[in-house]
Structure 1
Amino acid sequence: MANNITNCALLVPASEIFYETILALIETVNAAKSVVVQKENFNKFSSYLERTTLVLRDLSKLAIQSSDSLKHAVDILNGEITVAKQLALTCINRNKVYLFLNYRRILKKLEGTTKEISRALGLISLASLDGSSVVNDEITKLCESMLDAKYRITEAEEEILEKIESGIEERSVDRSYANNLLMLIAEAVGISTEQSEVKKEFEALKCEIDNDQLREDLAEALQMEQIVALLCKADIITTPEEKEVRYLSKRHSLGRQPLAPLQSFYCPITMDIMVDPVETSHGQTFERSAIEKWLEEGNKHCPLTMTPLNKLLLRSNKTLRESIEEWKDRNTMITIASLKPKVQSDEEQEVLHSLVRLLDLCIERELHQEWIIMEDYVPILISLLGSKNSEIRKHALEILFILAKDNDDNKERIAKVDDAIELIVRSLARKVNESKTALQLLLELSRNNVVQNLIGSVQGCILLLVTMSSSDDPQAAKDAHEILGNLSFLDENVVQMAKANYFGPLLRLLSSGTESVKMMMAKTLSEVELTDHSKLSLFKDGAQGPLLKLLSHNDIEMKKVAVKALQNLSSLPQNGLQMIREGAVDQLFELLYCHRLSSTSLRERVAATIMHLAISTTAPEADQMKALIFKSEEDIFRLFSLISLTGPHVQQSILQTFIAVCQSSSGFEIRTTLRQISATRVLIQLCELDNYALRASAVKLFHCLMEDGDNSTFLEHITHRCIETLLEIAKTSNNSEEVASAMGVISNLPNDSQTTEWLLNLNTLQVIFNFLTTGNTDSFYKREVVENSAKALCRFTVPTNHQWQKRVAESRFIPLLVDLLVSGTPLTKKSVAISLKQFSESSSTLSTPSKKKKVVFGCCLGSPEPGCCPVHSGICTLESSFCLLEGDAIRPLVSVLEERDIGVSEASLDALLTLIEGEQLQKGSKVLDEANAIGSMVKLLSSDSPRVQEKSLKALERVFRLAEFKPKYGASAQLPLVDITQRGTSDMKSLAAKTLSHLSVLHDQSSFF
């Protein structure tokens, strides 16, 4: 007995034990959700923490036995929550590039923290609950899930990190490699790729590393220093001006004469200057390739000392290699500077010799090109394009081409020199070799947006390029076509091309040229960036026919370029509709379904083109043309069945195709057929994929199918797991459109009790509440999220289940709904009004009767006591009876009656009419009168909606039975009532006449009755 008393004394409210922990969890969840890097992983982590919070809240409702083991477990959990919160705050506040470079380490910590929280929860379970507890089962499930948790970076992020590691290992990484890495990192972390922004982020990264006081991990510190050293090779983080100042400062300190190499630079075996010197265990240095060859030939001793040699003991002589490289760079700088006056010499042979030397230096190393730019060679080389010597012009063009290649700064530097483009264009019309080189240079320059404007403005340039596009030389013709394609983004250039009959010859060659010429023309159309005007012109001039003909060609490559060209041209809706009208769909379907087709990329292109055609059917002019993608239900079934048999790119195009046709004029029939073939089952499977783009499309199509169908047909496919998946998408996705679609599906789920219970158990009310509290935003899809969330709430407010209504009310939804009546979109207001109406239908039943009533002859007399509801005559609260008056909802609902959207005003009217049902007529009418609702109802007698008219009429017929409202509203109601007696349905005529009799306008014996 004493033991029992002692044990009882140890029972304490669990809320005291877990209160601080729950608060810390909520703070950590908020911090995790605020992290913008690795958002998917942190959202996944925050969902575990939210589930942990729910479990602890359930525990808090129990009285449990306090013990040292329980306190120890809670301390462990609190410690891990602190670690998690600190990690989240670190990821919020630190430099994005720094975080990216540490993604693997961050996710490893996240994974470790998740597992430790799981273990701490397990200890709490052991210390506080017996094995039969329901909460214990929930903890067990959660712990298992967290122990299995895996956080991973994307393939693209992994690839970038691997490139960084490879770059550190490779000694010969150049600036292009470093530039590319910086661009990839910038795109991955979501910062601008503008040079100024990248430079700012890189400087912030260096400062963060320099100021980091937590460098306990020496390996990590060394790795960060190596990464910074690698990225420092990128010239994008240095402005051209800074590079030039740095270069000239160094070059002026070198003197004017090249230095002879030191004797130690020579390899004793080859007697050449070493590139990769290695040292033997006895201190002798050789060129790596030379000494390795010496050993491979069977020699086992050092060629100088004859001591035994071991290949495994050779090590790089880094210091000597750096000295050799520094010596070479010094002499090359001096050489480049010394060649400048020779290039400007009047002696043609000296100029030619110097140009050849410069060309060799350009080819030898990318860094040499930079030094040539710093020495201001560009204006000199441009001036040489006016030389009478064709060899001089050709070499100058070759050097300019190398300088311009893959370097936008240099392209613009070349183009800005006076007459530069004119001189290059002039070389196009000269001898073949010079013309080809000039064409290559012009092609490179045309890849820069700034320079494109200058090229198109040179008189005769486009005409000359059009002429060259018909050249017998395939490469020259291709280059000319590509330049013209690069210039075609400007309408004035397209006009010039049209004047030069560019598209005519191109299409003629596409129709009647040799196979190789057809291939080239189709490839041109597939690769050039055409304006909408150009695409339309090409179709009008007959591009479609030859391209469709090429689809049946035996050569797979020919099919590929033809489909790619059609894909390019069909992105314009007018062209897409023309393709449908002329039978392109059948050919594309035939190609897509061809089992012999082994080319994945071709199938992807075909599917993408079909998607363009489907999108074109949503254009306004599609209705007049009666453009249909599908001719039969079999076509729909056949295409949809491919989703299960193809890769993600084709799947994505097929899903987008169906989304488009479901939104077209024939959408209802398409949606009906998809429902009949159980498309939902496949879509639910796709919703569980890790491919987020594909998943988003699947959810959107799922939503389309549920919007206007009999949703009871979906019941067999809607499982607990399906609903859990949709809610997870809604909570974690960064794509507002996908979230809107997921909530759209949830709002249209079958209205059966089991589905509703599943939703409640999965904490759907909290998800809806979170979305509704975001309010309206400028984003279309974010507004749709709110609309669909408001609609989803309606199923929980039905008056047939007071327990569901109570859960909603206790979650503080009603004040939020009233706010949305003011700030929401029309669709949101409609759903809100429906929920409020359903709440109000329960109010009279749930209102607590007043304790004191004066009874005379069995009747209750007198006005309600103070504190009683003026409509329900009992005690009303939001949480107990859901009373509209307690929620201050009457005036907002009355203002919604004035909405132009009939559906919104009708829903509001329905909610207000619940106040005058049955015996509440007199009290409810008084409340409506005070809120100016009756006047608005009179206006609704003239509504365009017969149903709203009839509802208003029925309500007013009852209101006008009460004498006090006749003088105030009777006059304004007479004309619309008379109008109804003349134009309404027979039932409405009779009711309107009856109402007029209440107003003494007609007598009871009128013929209207």
Structure 2
Amino acid sequence: MAKGITITTSLVSLPELFSQTIVSIFDCIHAAKAVATQVESFEKFSNYIEKITSILKELSNSNVNDSESLRNALDILNLEVKVVKQLAFECGTRNKIYLLISCRKILKQLENNTKEICQALGLIPLASLDGPLRISNKINRLRKDMLAAEYSPGMVENEILDKIESGIKETNVDRCYANGLLVSIAEAVGVPNEPLALRKVFDEFKNEIEDSTRGLDTAEARRMEQIVVLLEKADATTSFEEKAKRYFHERNSLPRQPLEPLQSFYCPITMDIMVDPVEISSGRTFERSAVERWFADGNKQCPSTSIPLENLVLQPNKTLRQSIEEWKERNKMITIVSLKPKLQSNEEQEVLQSLCELHDLCVERELHREWVIFEEYIPILIELLIAKNKEIRTQTLAILCILAEDSHDNKERIAKVDQALESIVRSLARQIKESKFALQLLLQLSRSSAVRDVIGAVQGCIFLVVTMLNNDEAQASENSRELLDNLSFLHQNVIEMAKANFFKPLLHLLCSGPDNVRLLMAKTLSELELTEHHKLSVFKDGALGPLLQLLSHDNLEMKAVAVRALQNLSNLPQNGLQMIKEGAVGPLFEILYRHSLSLPSLREQVAVVIMHLAKSTISQEADREQISLLKSDEDIFKLFSLISLTGPDIQRNILQAFCAMCQSSSGPDIRAKLRQLSAVQVLVQLCEADNPTVRASAVKLFCCLTVDGDDITFQEHVNQRCIDTLLRIIKSSTDEEETASAMGIISNLPKDIQITQWLLDSGALDIIFASLTDGNRNAPHKKQEIESAVRALCRFTVSENREWQKKVAEAGFIPVLVQLLVSGTSLTKQNAAISLKQFSESSSALSRPVKKSSPFICCLAATETGCAVHQGICTVESSFCILEANAVEPLVRILGEGDFGACEASLDTLLTLISDERLQNGCKVLDKSNAISPIIRLLSSTSTILQEKTLKALERIFRLVEMKHKYATLAQMPLVDITQRGSGGMKSLAAKVLAQLNVLGEQSSYF
């Protein structure tokens, strides 16, 4: 119970005292929730005092008598709760390391507070309460639980505290011990295991110790100082410069020659310097092993004085032992300093002897290695690697291996010395013992990310390491594998590797090495960044066969590495075709179809390889040799069915594979079979996929299937929702190829009235107009999008539906089409001309008659003139007149450009001007536009369709006498040529035109 409690609350009413106590408890619970250490223990305490609040509330509501005993109990409760609140506050704000180290003390205080509160509950008078039995039972049960309460640190905290105590007792613990201890503390308190974070929290710990030691008793303050000294041995707590400064401060205070031992260091029995001195009951000190033998021989008197001993107890003489250790370490410091000039001697034997001595010191203690670094031995040791004596080089490499093992800083110090790595690599090519140490050293250095790239760039390094893979000694072979594993994928200079003949030994080991070596070689091939030339060379030199063997291996890791290597090499079409020809498809499909694989990423990588193989079938070589990826309908069905059964990564690659195959020489068959498999239905659904890359791939494949599909297939699955989706993609997608493909689908849809109406209802005209007028026309897929957009427009310009034509004209499309006749691709010009032809077919019916002017008005107003062809009032928007749209001149120009499709469409459009009764007026316009001569030149075209259409046009044109007189000479020879070389129908038609020109009689045999 808290001592010295006096009643200071006599002036406070009892209900107010209850209220104050309850508020204090709630404040304490709130503080306990914010602790950063021993959370479970504070939560346990909070549960106890939360139950007390329930009891206090019942007491305050009962008719309890105001008594000194009750007030005393509430005072104690208030005091103890406030003490715990302050403890909890400190546990939420103080340094994390300090809290961990003090956790036993903290929990002991919490346990004492719990017991004090338990005693206070016993002071509450229960006899005068209403219903005392119920409250009394509650209090008794709670007091019983609190008296039994124990708070103890967790297993991790206890282990750390035990390590700290052990480290304090063992005065010679090394840096490795301190490093491990600090890492354990960092993990326990939630501090990142990074030097800066560790240094920061340790500095805060030291500052807190300095501030708090004034309030600690001497023993506790000494313990905290010892902990600081112990943790300061860790790398992260003290900088290299601070350690060096401390070292040189001590080193400079020592003489040049070793210190003589004190007489007290010698054991009186053995006359040797003691290692484990112990004191016996006579007060004399001896070496433990020596005095134990003395007693074992039956002696019961002091070995030095011969005085009988009271007992045979041995007491460790820690002070003397520490003095001996300090003397030894000072002498070793002097020795390390003295060896430096000896290593630079010209006497090989002296150098070798000094190296052996230095090696022993480095092996003995980590602290000695640190002193060697401070003394800047590394440049001296590196210089010894060019010595002629192989024993000197070997011993030097052995010391460097020990130094490199200590830290990444040491690795970097070694690598930074001029020509260090080159000298180590040269040792790889020397005798077995030396090469093994060189390999071991390079392996140590390669474990530093800052050094790996530098090692890999040393000429010949990779080659020499590869040659050591077949070393008879298992450890050397294993070191070679690990080193190559560390270096190969970071080695960027592949050309230098090829010059060093790296690929040949790699491929040799891939073909004939043991499984672990083959695995490493395949992994190397999977991670190297190879040029196209080297990818070809690797396959040419025989890598494919061994990789296919690994692909069929029972070991899953073998399969995975082989797949990654093939993925790296298969994106070159020549390699992809070779893989298909040599049977890679079967094993790849076997892996892809195995849903039970424990490596999901393996199936995804296989899908990438299959996509690469599919793309290789687009090449001319595949076309020439008739190489296809899928051989049967079943193969197509199985691969396509995976799209509905896999995740987005596999889906995307399979869709892209089918896109590629649809563009290969076997594309028409693939497309037909996919349509038979109801692929369109699946693709329509995927056009709404959440994953943008899957959706884009689905849209591109959908577009491929619409190229030569039958109308029925698409009418079954394309509805208003599908059209809305496609138009939304065109409006919002950032993938230009996806946008172009979606527009391609729109342009290829059946010319069905219902589909056309859906397109109009969904705002397709606005989207098509935007495609034709917005964006960079030189973008990679923009031309494809414009070609499809113009083709899609043709369905809205058919002359049978003038309502649709009017909507297109009012939207401003006709001037855009005319512009595309000038700037578009051949296909764009062809479809633009088709739309203009369909518009022109409606112009005569829509041309508004010219109003006849009254004789009295004609003098007062200008007479309204009609169209030169249609003889009425024409405008672009009202009658779709191609003369008003200035389309005639670009159409005539297309006649001479050589593309048959565009030329035919332009000719058809121009001929609408001379159809029916418009012959005379239309011919005048064509003549004025210099169109007749280009039309006549089409007689010499290699296209029979163009020749036939031209003959029919000229038969009409030459009905006019003025046209015959003007163009007969130009047309005569081409017509004669047709009568001699043309087909039967063409000969007859050409002869008929010649007869019109009076070249042949009307009774000629040509008719």
With normalisation by structure 1, the TM-score equals 0.62
**In the alignment, does 2:840 pair up with 1:833?**
no
2:445 pairs, out of 441, 452, 457, with 441
Which residues of 2 match residues 958-997 of structure 1 at below 5 A? 958-997=956-995
Show the counterpart of 2:19: none
Against the structure 1 CA distance between its residues 592 and 499, is the aligned structure 2 distance closer, same or farther, given a 3 Å change threshold? closer
Any conservation in 1 of the 2:400–2:441 contact (CA below 8 Å)?
Answer: no
Report the AA paired with residue 572 of structure 1.
Answer: L
Any conservation in 1 of the 2:107–2:151 contact (CA below 8 Å)?
Answer: no
Distance 1:941 1:452 in 2: 74
Could you tell me how far 1:782 is from its partner in structure 2?
Answer: 1.7
Could you tell me how far 1:285 is from its partner in structure 2?
Answer: 10
Show the counterpart of 1:785: 785
Could you tell me how far 1:428 is from its partner in structure 2?
Answer: 4.2
Against the structure 1 CA distance between its residues 463 and 602, is the aligned structure 2 distance closer, same or farther, given a 3 Å change threshold? closer
Which residues of 2 match residues 75-474 of structure 1 at below 5 A? 279=90, 287-296=98-107, 299-300=110-111, 332=239, 334-335=241-242, 338=245, 347-348=339-340, 389-394=396-401, 397=404, 418-426=418-426, 428=428, 430=434, 432-441=436-445, 454-455=457-458, 458=459, 460-471=460-471, 472=474, 473-474=477-478
Any conservation in 1 of the 2:509–2:517 contact (CA below 8 Å)?
Answer: no
Distance 1:854 1:952 in 2: 44
How many percent identity over aligned positions?
50
Any conservation in 1 of the 2:577–2:622 contact (CA below 8 Å)?
Answer: yes
Partner SS state of residue 695, structure 2: helix
Against the structure 1 CA distance between its residues 926 and 989, is the aligned structure 2 distance closer, same or farther, given a 3 Å change threshold? same
Against the structure 1 CA distance between its residues 665 and 360, is the aligned structure 2 distance closer, same or farther, given a 3 Å change threshold? farther
2:507 pairs, out of 486, 498, 503, with 503
Show the counterpart of 1:878: 876
Deviates more, 1:461-470 or 1:824-833: 461-470
Distance 1:778 1:902 in 2: 24
**In the alignment, does 2:531 pair up with 1:531?**
yes
**In the alignment, does 2:948 pair up with 1:950?**
yes
Show the counterpart of 2:226: none
**In the alignment, does 2:607 pair up with 1:610?**
no
Partner SS state of residue 287, structure 1: helix
Could you tell me how far 1:400 is from its partner in structure 2?
Answer: 8.6
Against the structure 1 CA distance between its residues 502 and 321, is the aligned structure 2 distance closer, same or farther, given a 3 Å change threshold? closer
Could you tell me how far 1:702 is from its partner in structure 2?
Answer: 0.2
Report the AA paired with residue 679 of structure 1.
Answer: A
Against the structure 1 CA distance between its residues 453 and 929, is the aligned structure 2 distance closer, same or farther, given a 3 Å change threshold? farther
Could you tell me how far 1:537 is from its partner in structure 2?
Answer: 3.3
Partner SS state of residue 389, structure 1: helix
Any conservation in 1 of the 2:826–2:899 contact (CA below 8 Å)?
Answer: yes
Partner SS state of residue 624, structure 2: helix
Against the structure 1 CA distance between its residues 969 and 595, is the aligned structure 2 distance closer, same or farther, given a 3 Å change threshold? same
Show the counterpart of 1:646: 646
Any conservation in 2 of the 1:787–1:825 contact (CA below 8 Å)?
Answer: yes
Any conservation in 2 of the 1:295–1:311 contact (CA below 8 Å)?
Answer: no
Distance 2:338 2:912 in 1: 102
Q: Deviations over 1:104-145 (max 9, x none)?
A: xxxxxxxxxxxxxxxxxxxxxxxxxxxxxxxxxxxxxxxxxx
Q: How many residues in Structure 1 have an aligned counterpart in Structure 2? A: 700
Show the counterpart of 1:756: 756
Show the counterpart of 2:907: 909
Show the counterpart of 2:917: 919
Show the counterpart of 1:898: 896
Against the structure 1 CA distance between its residues 601 and 915, is the aligned structure 2 distance closer, same or farther, given a 3 Å change threshold? same
Distance 1:843 1:399 in 2: 92
Distance 2:705 2:555 in 1: 40
Against the structure 1 CA distance between its residues 634 and 402, is the aligned structure 2 distance closer, same or farther, given a 3 Å change threshold? farther
Could you tell me how far 1:338 is from its partner in structure 2?
Answer: 4.0
Could you tell me how far 1:970 is from its partner in structure 2?
Answer: 1.9
Against the structure 1 CA distance between its residues 444 and 916, is the aligned structure 2 distance closer, same or farther, given a 3 Å change threshold? farther
Partner SS state of residue 873, structure 1: coil
Query: Which of structures 1 and 2 has the bigger CA Rg?
Result: 2
Could you tell me how far 1:419 is from its partner in structure 2?
Answer: 2.4
Distance 2:99 2:978 in 1: 104
Report the AA paired with residue 476 of structure 1.
Answer: S
Against the structure 1 CA distance between its residues 665 and 822, is the aligned structure 2 distance closer, same or farther, given a 3 Å change threshold? same
Show the counterpart of 2:495: 491
Distance 1:284 1:765 in 2: 70
Any conservation in 2 of the 1:428–1:436 contact (CA below 8 Å)?
Answer: no
Distance 2:898 2:550 in 1: 54
Could you tell me how far 1:536 is from its partner in structure 2?
Answer: 2.9
Distance 2:938 2:247 in 1: 89
Distance 1:762 1:521 in 2: 58
Which residues of 2 match residues 29-48 of structure 1 at below 5 A? none
Could you tell me how far 1:735 is from its partner in structure 2?
Answer: 0.6
Q: Deviations over 1:850-900 (max 9, x none)?
A: 222999xxxxxxxx9643111111111111111101111111111122223
Unaligned runs of 5+ in 1: 1-168, 172-276, 362-368, 405-409, 856-863
Against the structure 1 CA distance between its residues 337 and 286, is the aligned structure 2 distance closer, same or farther, given a 3 Å change threshold? closer
Report the AA paired with residue 688 of structure 1.
Answer: E
Against the structure 1 CA distance between its residues 662 and 686, is the aligned structure 2 distance closer, same or farther, given a 3 Å change threshold? same
Partner SS state of residue 1004, structure 1: coil
Deviates more, 1:339-348 or 1:569-578: 339-348
Distance 1:543 1:743 in 2: 44
Against the structure 1 CA distance between its residues 869 and 564, is the aligned structure 2 distance closer, same or farther, given a 3 Å change threshold? same
Deviates more, 1:935-944 or 1:718-727: 935-944
Against the structure 1 CA distance between its residues 545 and 501, is the aligned structure 2 distance closer, same or farther, given a 3 Å change threshold? closer
Distance 2:934 2:207 in 1: 89
Against the structure 1 CA distance between its residues 842 and 285, is the aligned structure 2 distance closer, same or farther, given a 3 Å change threshold? closer
With normalisation by structure 2, the TM-score equals 0.62
Deviates more, 1:528-537 or 1:936-945: 528-537
Show the counterpart of 2:934: 936
Any conservation in 2 of the 1:385–1:397 contact (CA below 8 Å)?
Answer: no
**In the alignment, does 2:600 pair up with 1:631?**
no
Could you tell me how far 1:478 is from its partner in structure 2?
Answer: 4.2
Show the counterpart of 2:722: 722
**In the alignment, does 2:564 pair up with 1:560?**
no
Against the structure 1 CA distance between its residues 683 and 357, is the aligned structure 2 distance closer, same or farther, given a 3 Å change threshold? farther
Report the AA paired with residue 510 of structure 2.
Answer: L
Distance 1:916 1:715 in 2: 38
Distance 2:765 2:399 in 1: 79
Show the counterpart of 1:19: none
Report the AA paired with residue 466 of structure 1.
Answer: V
Against the structure 1 CA distance between its residues 970 and 865, is the aligned structure 2 distance closer, same or farther, given a 3 Å change threshold? farther
Report the AA paired with residue 696 of structure 1.
Answer: A
**In the alignment, does 2:705 pair up with 1:698?**
no
Against the structure 1 CA distance between its residues 642 and 280, is the aligned structure 2 distance closer, same or farther, given a 3 Å change threshold? closer
Against the structure 1 CA distance between its residues 971 and 503, is the aligned structure 2 distance closer, same or farther, given a 3 Å change threshold? same
Could you tell me how far 1:382 is from its partner in structure 2?
Answer: 6.8
Against the structure 1 CA distance between its residues 376 and 751, is the aligned structure 2 distance closer, same or farther, given a 3 Å change threshold? farther
Against the structure 1 CA distance between its residues 284 and 673, is the aligned structure 2 distance closer, same or farther, given a 3 Å change threshold? closer
Against the structure 1 CA distance between its residues 868 and 420, is the aligned structure 2 distance closer, same or farther, given a 3 Å change threshold? farther
Against the structure 1 CA distance between its residues 867 and 423, is the aligned structure 2 distance closer, same or farther, given a 3 Å change threshold? farther
Partner SS state of residue 1005, structure 1: coil
Partner SS state of residue 969, structure 1: helix
Against the structure 1 CA distance between its residues 281 and 490, is the aligned structure 2 distance closer, same or farther, given a 3 Å change threshold? closer
Against the structure 1 CA distance between its residues 546 and 764, is the aligned structure 2 distance closer, same or farther, given a 3 Å change threshold? same
Could you tell me how far 1:453 is from its partner in structure 2?
Answer: 8.7
RMSD: 4.4
Distance 1:403 1:799 in 2: 85
Any conservation in 1 of the 2:446–2:483 contact (CA below 8 Å)?
Answer: no
Any conservation in 1 of the 2:570–2:613 contact (CA below 8 Å)?
Answer: yes
Unaligned runs of 5+ in 2: 1-33, 37-87, 121-149, 154-188, 192-196, 209-231, 252-332, 341-356, 387-392, 856-861
Show the counterpart of 1:107: none
Could you tell me how far 1:596 is from its partner in structure 2?
Answer: 4.4
Report the AA paired with residue 576 of structure 2.
Answer: G
Show the counterpart of 1:110: none
